[in-house]
A and B are shown apart, each in its own frame.
Chain A
Amino acid sequence: MPDTQIDTRPLKAEVKNFSFFYGSFQAVKNVSAPFREKAVTAIIGPSGCGKTTLLRCFNRMHDLYPGNRYAGEMILHSRSPDGSVRPLNIVHPSTSPIEMRMRISMVFQKPNPFPKSIFENVAYGLRLRGVGSRSELSGRVETALRGAALWDEVKDRLPQNAYGLSGGQQQRLCIARALAVEPEMVLFDEPTSALDPIATSKIEELIDDLRERVTILIVTHNMQQAARVSDYTAFMYLGELVEYDRTAKVFQNPGKPLTEQYISGRFG
């Protein structure tokens, strides 16, 4: 992994010899990669290459279904309020999946707001963490909605049902929901695949703004999107990590012929 060494940003997460199994099927094969703090890393690859599977490991989504198994290490360098850094193995059996989901938020492929009010959607994660006071909730909800560039559009209708929003607004609401809890990382699983081009460009702008505050991992089908928003790109194929490097390097001067073929659209 040549180029990443010059990056001065500390490591936020890393996977080491990491594998994932759906029953006996190995969907992620022995992947190793570092993820820099406050950087955007894109995971690309053809359908079924394991990129979404890998992403969902970060907040232990696979624990919801029987028969799944993790192997190897997936480390989160968790920063305490006092500044000390503590490595946590996300997939270790003794690690609470709930704790990992509280530290690492996720934005899904299809906007999936709860059928509750806009306010309650954003406040839900905070309520789970025991934030009860109305004034603190309002403050944090506003901050999160501003962070998701949605505040101006919804500030007058916070008590209304979130299903009244457009698809793009719903997705930004889901981003606000993920941001409200001040996660250490945010996972995006093809966040714009269900949106029109205008809504897509808004989400991309948003991701661009967010990189200063939080570490981002984004799975995308869209190579232009990966090139536009990410600092690093990981290319996966058949469960293996084929190439991982700075985005500019991957797109302009890929190290592997397979990467080059995929990027130039010869398969996938």
Chain B
Amino acid sequence: MLSTEQVIRRGQMRDRVFSILGVALTILCLGVLAILLVNLCREGLARIDWQFLTTFPSRRAAKAGIFSAWVGSALVMLVTGLTAIPLGVAAGVYLEEYGRRNWFTSLIEINIANLAGVPSIIYGLMALGLLIYKWEDWFGDKTDSIAGLGQSIITGGLTLAFLILPIVIVATREALRAIPQHMREAAYALGASRWQVVKDHLLPYSTGGISTGVIIALSRAIGETAPLVTIGALTYIAFLPPAPFSHTESGQMVGPFAWLSSPFTVLPIQMFNWVSRPSSDDNNFAVNAAAAGIILMLVTLTMNTVAIVIRARVRKKVKW
């Protein structure tokens, strides 16, 4: 049998070894992130300039830019945000504040939990089959106005909105659940109706939590490639969607929402396209890919940092 001292020393030794292992693995993971960033910057940082941001893709790597890609990303995100945020917050409010516990609400809850685990590419298949082809089968001949969902910004935006909807719903519910019940009672006791409690108290108090979730969801959507490839977003777009009330070449004025049915590309698809192209020294698409990757990383890391800061602030501020 070992002496007590030996046992203690052995335990301390093991603790120390494990501690070092934990720190080392954490540093390793963060190191990978750092190498990824450094590698991107080394390859692509020099490529980023005004010209890169304001020119269209081209067959000549050195002349190609990401103008249509980032405009496409921004417009798709606009549609995604405007769809997923109100829908997701409303659904979260219903499930947390209105829905009684019964088979129906648990069906919705199970459904949302499952949706959150469905691979993004499946959403792409769904949008391809439903929003593009079935939509055309069902409505195509009758009305021109809604026939053209097609491979357009609105289809892309809706696809990503469906994809992030579960994240927004879950974030909303968690933020609402964090508000203590006595806050609700205080408002009800003054004669507030359910909706007044929601709009005057619960939503304002949960803004921080909800926006954290929304930002993380949007940052995920902005980096999504697969579902948009599936619905057939193009890789070579050398024009911008029509601005509201602008004039076409034939002199016709377009409506305020014409851009919604415009074909599009997005930043990650542009990067994917450049990654998959054969590069040579005098036509180096890999450099373009790295440059697009830097922009993409900049956007997602910024959004995630903002989300982390908001979450930390909310936690610190709230004491109820």
Q: Which residues of A contact B (CB under 8 A)?
A: 59, 61, 64, 66, 98-99, 101-102, 105-106, 108, 110, 112-115, 124-125, 128-129, 163, 174, 177-178, 181
Contact = CB atoms under 8 A, between A and B. Distances in A.
Contacts of A115: 205, 318, 320
Contacts of A125: 190-191
A85 B69 CA distance: 72
A108 B186 contact: yes
Nearest to A187: B189
B77 to A, nearest CB: 31
A61 B184 CA distance: 10
Nearest to A60: B188
Contact of B190 (A64, A99, A124, A163): A124
A106 B319 CA distance: 22
25 contacts: A61-B188, A64-B188, A66-B100, A98-B191, A101-B189, A101-B190, A102-B190, A102-B191, A106-B185, A106-B189, A108-B189, A112-B183, A112-B186, A114-B186, A114-B201, A115-B205, A115-B318, A124-B187, A124-B192, A125-B190, A128-B190, A128-B191, A128-B192, A128-B196, A129-B191
A61 B205 contact: no
Interface of B: 100-101, 180, 182-193, 196, 200-201, 205, 318-320
A64 B185 contact: yes
A65 to B, nearest CB: 9
Given A66-B101, A98-B193, A124-B200, A110 B187 contact: no
Given A102-B190, A108-B185, A174-B186, 4 more contacts: A59-B189, A110-B182, A124-B200, A129-B191
Nearest to B196: A128
A109 to B, nearest CB: 8
A178 B187 CA distance: 10
Contacts of B193: 98
B189 A105 contact: yes
Given A66-B100, A66-B101, A114 B183 contact: yes
A108 B187 CA distance: 11
A228 B318 CA distance: 36
Contacts of B188: 61, 64, 101
A105 B320 CA distance: 21
Task: With a 10 A CB-CB cut-off, give which of A102, A106, A124 has the most chain B CB atoms.
Answer: A124
Nearest to B184: A64
A55 to B, nearest CB: 11
Contact of B191 (A66, A101, A114, A174): A101
A196 to B, nearest CB: 18
B317 to A, nearest CB: 9
Given A66-B100, A115-B205, A124-B200, A99 B191 contact: yes
Contacts of B200: 124
